[in-house]
Structures are given as C-alpha cells and as structure tokens.
C-alpha cells in the first residue's frame, strides 16, 4: 500500500494548524485522507507528513492507542522532571557546600585579622618594634583609609604621609586607631593629628627611633676609712720638788 502527498500543506494561521492531504493508491481505486495537523508543518518533508497523517488517523480510530501514546509522553515528561529535580538538588548541594567553604574562609580570615591586630597592638602600640622595616611590613597588613567610610571604635587602618622622612626604612604609611566612630573624609596625616587626635577621636602610631640602652650608673667608691684608732699614750713627767736649803 503506497501513500503520496497530494498538493502542498496549507497553513491556517487562525487555528495554528496545517491541512495535509495524502492519497492512497490501491489496485483499481484511489482514496484520500485529509487531516489538520497541529502547528506549522509546512516545512516538513513528504515522508514525515504522510506518517503524521497516518498516526493521526490511527489515533482517531483507536482511542486505546491514543491513551498509550499519552501515557508514554507522560512517563517521558515525568522522567525529564525527575532529572531536572535531581540536577536542581545537586546544584543546591553544591551551592550549600560552596557557602560552607565561604563561611570557613571568612572565619579563617577573621582569625587571621585578630592575630594581626593583636600583634600590632602588642608590638607597634607597645613600642616594641626595633626595626623600621618590621614596622613597614606590619602596617602594610592593614588597609589604607577609604574616603567616606565610617570606622567604628577600635578600627585600625593606615594613611599615607608623603612628607614623612624615614629614619629606619619604615615607609610612608602611618597606623591609625579610632577611639570613637569616625568618618574618613580624605584628611592628611597632619590633619588627623590635629582636631581628631587632640579630641581623642583617634590615636596615631608612628615608628619611633630605637632607644639606646641605658648606660650603667657609675658610682664613685667611698674613701677607705681606717677603723683602727692610733692612740698616743700620755707620759706623765715627774713633778719637780723645790727644796729650800736650811739657813
């Protein structure tokens, strides 16, 4: 049994269907089937259209077949839905793991910042830094001041002081610690040492030249005093007796 396409498919835009007519050649007679296929099928080739028409006719004649096809499509849709849900669950799991790693990194960064802060407070603010290069490396661990940023009490940051004359390779950055809430407006170090410093809003921690060790105190030895007294004995001379001669 042979089928062929009769004419070209006709698109009915208002219904969004394509009218397709096929012809069946049988010995001694011809028969035609004309159906409306959903959608625009004008670009399909002849074999595809003929098969689509035959499938449509079988569905119309055999409701059971239509149910089977619908069930198959439903199962296919459910399988795709399950795959989508599985991928979504995997994505959520990866997102959770990524978030956990980020939290771990943030916690580690906070611990490192605390260690750096303690080192700075103990060393720089405790005047225990003997070398300018050490001061420079420690100050570089803190961020430079940001214009417009509000620094809460206890915040530590650095500012550049181009006019600073290095004495031991300590660099041009100066460490600042806030005692009160402070909004940095791009002040120079000299300006920060003005009203903010004088009003106790912040403290500045510059590198100080290493102090020379105290020289030992020299105590002059006391003059030796003899504890042995020299006593000169007193010699009593015999008293002279005057004898008057007899007259």
232 belongs to a structural domain = no
Total structural domains within the chain? 3
What pLDDT score does 25 carry? 74
Residue 9 · residue 19 · CB < 8 Å: yes
Residue 164 CA to residue 206 CA, distance in Å, equals: 10
Task: With CA atoms as reference, report the closest residue to 2 among 27, 24, 20, 29.
Answer: 24
Residue 175 · residue 205 · CB < 8 Å: yes
Q: Which domain holds residue 100?
A: 63-123
Q: Which residues of 121-148 are buried (b: 16+ CB within 10 A; e: fewer)?
A: eeebeeeebeebebbbebbebbeebeee
Does residue 92 share a domain with residue 77? Answer: yes
Exposure on the CB side of residue 141, measured as CA atoms within 13 A: 17
Quick: pLDDT tens for 45-92.
988 988 888 888 877 766 666 666 777 778 888 888 888 888 888 888
Quick: pLDDT tens for 87-118.
888 888 888 888 888 888 777 777 777 777 77
3-state secondary structure of 33: strand
Quick: pLDDT tens for 174-229.
999 999 999 999 999 999 999 999 999 999 988 876 555 554 444 444 444 444 44
What pLDDT score does 61 carry? 65
pTM of the predicted model, to two decimals?
0.45
6 belongs to a structural domain = yes
Quick: pLDDT tens for 132-189.
888 898 899 899 999 999 999 999 999 999 999 998 899 999 999 999 999 999 999 9
Eight-class DSSP state of 247: -
Does residue 139 share a domain with residue 118? Answer: no
Residue 205 CA to residue 121 CA, distance in Å, equals: 10
């Amino acid at each position: 049994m042979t089928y062929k396409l009769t004419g070209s498919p006709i698109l009915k835009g208002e219904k969004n269907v394509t009218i397709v007519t096929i012809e069946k050649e049988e010995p001694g007679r011809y028969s035609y089937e004309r159906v409306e296929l959903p959608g625009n099928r004008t670009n399909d080739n002849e074999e595809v259209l003929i098969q689509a028409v035959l499938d449509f006719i079988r569905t119309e004649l055999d409701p059971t077949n239509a149910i089977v096809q619908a069930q198959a499509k439903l199962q296919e849709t459910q399988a795709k839905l399950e795959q989508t849900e599985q991928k979504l669950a995997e994505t959520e799991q990866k997102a959770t793991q990524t978030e956990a790693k980020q939290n771990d990194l943030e916690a580690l960064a906070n611990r490192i910042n605390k260690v750096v802060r303690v080192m700075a407070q103990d060393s720089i603010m405790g005047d225990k830094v003997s070398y300018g290069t050490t001061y420079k490396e420690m100050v570089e661990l803190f961020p430079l001041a940001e214009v417009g940023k509000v620094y809460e009490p206890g915040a530590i940051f650095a500012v550049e002081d181009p006019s600073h004359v290095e004495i031991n390779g300590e660099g041009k950055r100066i460490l600042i610690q806030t005692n009160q809430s402070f909004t940095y407006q791009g002040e120079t170090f000299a300006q920060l040492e003005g009203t903010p410093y004088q009003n106790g809003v912040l403290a500045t921690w510059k590198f100080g030249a290493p102090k020379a060790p105290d020289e030992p105190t020299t105590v002059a030895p006391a003059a030796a005093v003899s504890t042995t007294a020299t006593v000169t004995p007193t010699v009593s001379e015999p008293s002279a007796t005057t004898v008057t001669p007899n007259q």
